[in-house]
């Protein structure tokens, strides 16, 4: 029994774009299908533009909430437990120094990764293409055709799409190794900012756990308004209590997302691919076969790929622990494969998924 199941193999690895194979590649604009003008399509467009407009509001919200909680930690939580004792030197203050260093490292991890996730373009089809007009189209096509015989064409951008590329209807462009559009970073999560998004979730989740533990004492103190003890901190009691409750809520929500995205990253799947792979897996199971993901090099291999370390990477292992703007492996248009890939022929028109 073979390890992988043989479906109708297509020249492209992009099973979500089945219209691609029978669609001639052309630069000429075609009239939009009438279905796009349907009520559902209008709702979709409204939702997309709302997400687009919501982006800056959510960025500001994230900035304000992060500022409040960081300020709360350094002016209330840390001094509640530890403070610098004069005259005892480094060894007399080791616990304070340890917590200060750890919390500063977490703040660096959160702020830097959030900034990189927001500011790094996720990657587009025209990256590295300097020509314009028809020449531009030919350049892109030539580049992709060196490794894909019949590249699919995006119905909206009218450009040939590299493998794992999908169109984002919020950003109105195709994104390399598209994962999803995240309104909280006002950006798509794609090939070039995926690591930063994942590490932002990771640092934020760890920080929430630490914050909630460190905040238990101050929270009870802040909540005990009948206490005879004076409140000695700069920040108001109510804001301190709010910060603790906020950290619990964010920790649960972001922690869940972090676990999900780590599962996807360690199994070398994007959010979109996961839906498709889950469907193929189900069919494989029925046939008693095992589905293998052609982009997966095992958990350890995928882990090293995320951080651009290991045999295929270009950076030393310890950079995985540092929130630095390290680029991913490859240009996002071509991906190394662990084996032959198979995709299902759904036999029906399938809209770009976003
Ligand atoms: Zn597109
Ligand atoms: Zn987008």
pLDDT in tens, 92-118: 899 999 999 999 999 999 999 999 999
Task: Find the ligand nearest to 188 CA.
Answer: 2
How big is the chain by its Cα radius of gyration, in Å? 25
Instruction: Give the number of domains in the chain.
Output: 1
Residue 171's pLDDT is: 94
Let me know: does 193 contact 115? Beta carbons within 8 Å.
no
Confidence check: pLDDT of 264 > 80: yes
The candidate with the shortest Cα–Cα distance to 194, out of 213, 179, 210, 173, is 179
Residue 336 lies in a domain: no
pLDDT score, position 33: 54
Report the chain's terminal Cα–Cα distance, integer Å.
36
List 72, 154, 171, 182, catalytic entry: 182
What does the pLDDT read at residue 284? 86
Residue 129 burial by Cβ neighbours in a 10 Å radius (0-12, 13-18, 19+): middle
Distance 340 CA to ligand 1 centre (A): 26
- Output the CA torsion 142→147→153→157 (10° steps): -60
N residues, the chain: 354
The answer to whether residue 242 is domain-embedded is: yes
User: Which residue has better confidence, 205 or 145?
Assistant: 205
In this predicted structure, the answer to whether residue 23 has a pLDDT above a threshold of 60 is no
What pLDDT shows up at residue 94?
A: 93
What pLDDT does 15 receive? Answer: 44
In a domain, 314, yes or no: yes
pLDDT of residue 35: 58
- Two tokens at 95? 């616990």
Q: In degrees, to the nearest 5, what angle opens at C-alpha 191 toward C-alphas 311 and 13? A: 85
Report if residue 95 sits inside a domain. Answer: yes
Q: Which residues surround ligand 1, an ion (CB under 5 A)?
A: 154, 156-157, 167, 174
Reply yes or no on whether 182 is catalytic. yes
CB 210 within 8 A of CB 106: yes
Q: Which of 20-34, 48-62, 191-205, 287-301 has the lowest mean pLDDT?
A: 20-34
Q: What spacing in Å lies between the alpha carbon of 47 and ligand 2's midpoint?
A: 13
Q: What is the mean pLDDT of residues 66-82?
A: 96
Q: Are the CB atoms for 278 and 321 separated by under 8 Å?
A: no
Question: Averaged over 308-319, what is the pLDDT?
Answer: 95
Per-residue pLDDT reduced to its tens digit, 163-195: 999 999 999 999 999 999 999 999 999 999 999
The answer to the question of residue 338 being in a domain is no
Q: Compute, in angstroms, the gap from residue 348 CA to the centroid of ligand 2.
A: 25
pLDDT value of residue 342:
55
On whether residue 146 sits in a domain, the answer given is yes
- Between 89 and 353, where is the model more confident? 89
Nearest ligand to residue 124 Cα: 1
339 within some domain: no
Tell me how far the alpha carbon of residue 48 lies from the centroid of ligand 2, in angstroms.
9
Closest ligand to the CA of 181: 2
117 assigned to some structural domain:
yes
Using CA atoms, how far apart are residues 303 and 280, in angstroms rounded to an integer? Answer: 24
CA of 138 to the centre of ligand 1 (A): 16
Range in 47-51, 184-188, 237-241, 295-299 with the lowest mean pLDDT: 47-51
Could you tell me the distance, in angstroms and rounded to a whole number, from the CA of residue 237 to the centre of ligand 2? 39
Can you give the pLDDT at residue 151?
A: 77
Which of the two residues, 85 and 26, has the higher pLDDT score?
85
Domain housing 87: 18-26+36-321
Identify the nearest ligand to the CA of 167 by its number: 1
Alpha carbon of 179 to ligand 1 centroid (Å): 14
From the centroid of its chain, how far is CA 351? 23
The predicted pLDDT at position 287 comes to 86
């Amino acid at each position: 029994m073979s390890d992988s199941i043989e479906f109708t193999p297509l020249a492209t690895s992009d099973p979500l774009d089945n219209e691609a194979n029978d669609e001639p590649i052309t630069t000429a604009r075609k009239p939009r299908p009438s279905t796009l003008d349907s009520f559902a399509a209008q709702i979709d467009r409204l939702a997309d533009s709302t997400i687009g407009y919501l982006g800056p509001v959510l960025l500001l919200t994230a900035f304000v909430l992060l500022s409040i909680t960081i300020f709360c930690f350094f002016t209330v939580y840390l001094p509640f437990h530890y403070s610098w004792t004069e005259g005892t030197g480094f060894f007399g203050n080791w616990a304070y120094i340890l917590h200060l260093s750890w919390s500063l490292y977490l703040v660096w991890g959160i702020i830097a990764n959030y900034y990189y996730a927001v500011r790094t373009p996720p990657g587009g089809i025209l990256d590295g293409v300097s020509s314009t007009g028809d020449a531009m189209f030919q350049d892109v096509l030539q580049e992709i055709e060196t490794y894909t015989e019949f590249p699919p064409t995006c119905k909206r951008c009218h450009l040939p799409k590299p493998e794992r590329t999908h169109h984002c209807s919020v950003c109105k462009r195709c994104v390399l190794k598209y994962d999803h559009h995240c309104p909280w970073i006002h950006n798509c999560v794609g090939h070039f900012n995926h690591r930063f998004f994942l590490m932002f979730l990771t640092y934020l989740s760890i920080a929430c756990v630490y914050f909630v533990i460190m905040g238990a004492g101050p929270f009870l103190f802040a909540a005990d308004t009948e206490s005879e003890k004076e409140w000695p901190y700069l920040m108001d009691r109510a804001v301190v209590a709010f910060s603790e409750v906020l950290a619990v809520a964010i920790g649960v929500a972001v922690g869940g997302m972090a676990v999900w995205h780590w599962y996807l990253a360690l199994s070398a799947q994007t959010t979109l691919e996961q839906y498709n792979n889950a469907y193929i897996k189900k069919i494989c199971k029925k046939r008693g076969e095992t589905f293998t993901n052609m982009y997966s090099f095992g958990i350890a291999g995928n882990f090293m790929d995320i951080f651009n370390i290991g045999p295929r990477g270009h950076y030393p292992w310890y950079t995985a622990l540092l929130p630095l703007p390290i680029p991913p492996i490859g240009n996002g248009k071509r991906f190394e494969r662990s084996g032959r890939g198979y995709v299902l022929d759904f036999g029906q028109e399938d809209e770009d998924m976003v």
